[in-house]
Structure 1
Amino acid sequence: MLRALTLALGLAAFPAAGQSPFPVEIGGPYALIDQHGQTRTQEDPDGRAQLLFFGYANCLNICSAALPLMAQVVDELARDGIEVTPVMITVAPDQDRVETMGAPLAAIHPDFIGLTGDEAALQTAYDGFNIEITKLFEDPEYGWIYAHGSFVHLLDASGETLTLLPPVLDVAQVAGIARGYLEPKS
């Protein structure tokens, strides 16, 4: 499965240890604000791997598939003793604010971290992860609808990108790929 994903992403072979598997750099440092008003960087403060997605809490499109998938994968990996934090960086800071994104994310998974920030801080994260965002149209009930990247990024605890996971895979497939990169904590 991992080989199939590698080929699907256009990668010729698995990288050597310490070598990036991607033809471009993916990831980098950022400092954003979580739904509790605390600054958070790409490093997980609890030493956990992370599933990172760029989206928005009230998205009715790809986010409504990717965010629940991430939650289910987190629970599946936890059964194996692998702790992973689900993280969403907003692409809609006008809608996802500190005071508004916590409840919808907690409804998906109690450990979900939502991140927002000012334009410059968010742009740093978007640039680091090569995320492009386009405003499509304004929905009268939900606000702006955005087109944005759809991959889930698997990061290690220090925030280094390990691989990309397409949210069209099922829970078992995504968890299986993640297991190939992560080890249970003893």
Structure 2
Amino acid sequence: MRRRGPARRAAALLLALASLAALAATRAGAHDGVVHADPNEAAAHVAAAVPPAARSAGRSPARTPFPVTISARFDLIDQTGARRTEADFAGRPMLLFFGYAQCEAICSVALPRMAETLDLLGDRAAALSPVLITVDPARDTPEALSVAAPRIHPRLVALTGDEAALAAARGAFQVSAEVVFEDPAGQPVYSHGSFIYLVGGDGKVLTLLPPVLGPERMAEIVAGYL
């Protein structure tokens, strides 16, 4: 039997974890083929899906809990219509999440958690950019995001673009997204990644943060990298 090399083992582990934690968003909360009553129940299911080793690995703020080698790459537009690439954030760390504004399951957990983390960090968060990359460009237009983003956090940079550009961004971060069904109103419900990425000023991912972490713990981990 051929043994996998370290890079292939790391990729396999990341994909397995991402598959376990992938969530879709509806009023009922759907992921992994399970429908939940509310976002808290959905988040609890994700917590149970993440292996114990992954949950405990975050205890040291200066240690990456997952063996990943990912560099930020994207060429998109923000809620003001301005072009944004990873070069715009050079030297500035990011908290980055893939989701969408209409999501009422894991996004309603992860995005407020990002906002709370920034607030808890206080002045230390001045150089930290919160970023959302949409998986729903049809509804998440720059105009729609200009309304939705400030409700999450006044400094949130919300990015969208055409499907090719968004697919390239998802590929760079090893994130998948797909429509799993339509809700009763006929709106698409997406399955997408659930981790928050902490990206260093050099554009390389420092760690993945499961949104089931409390904001205080998440702020502690992020502070260890600032």
Deviation digits for residues 104-153 of structure 1, max 9, x if unmatched?
12111111111011111111110011111121111244821111000000
Specify the code of the residue in structure 1 equivalent to 2:218: V
Partners in 2 of 1:95 and 1:133 — Cα distance? Answer: 15
Q: 2:216 aligned with 1:172, yes or no?
A: yes
Unaligned runs of 5+ in 1: 15-19
2:70 is aligned, of 26, 32, 50, to 26
Q: Aligned ranges for residues 12-161 of structure 1 at < 5 Å?
A: 22-45=66-89, 47-80=91-124, 83-141=127-185, 143-161=187-205
The alignment's C-alpha RMSD in Å is 2.7
Q: 2:54 aligned with 1:8, yes or no?
A: yes
For the 8 Å contact 2:100–2:136, the answer to whether it is kept is yes
Normalised to the residue count of structure 1, the TM-score between the two structures is 0.82
Secondary structure of the residue aligned to 1:28 is coil
Structure 1 or 2: more strand by fraction: 1
For the 8 Å contact 1:72–1:171, the answer to whether it is kept is yes
Normalised to the residue count of structure 2, the TM-score between the two structures is 0.68
Deviation digits for residues 19-70 of structure 1, max 9, x if unmatched?
x975453233211100011111124448431100000011011000000000
Deviation at 1:10, TM superposition (A): 10
Q: Count residues in correspondence.
A: 173
Unaligned runs of 5+ in 2: 1-50
Secondary structure of the residue aligned to 1:88 is strand
Specify the code of the residue in structure 2 equivalent to 1:177: I
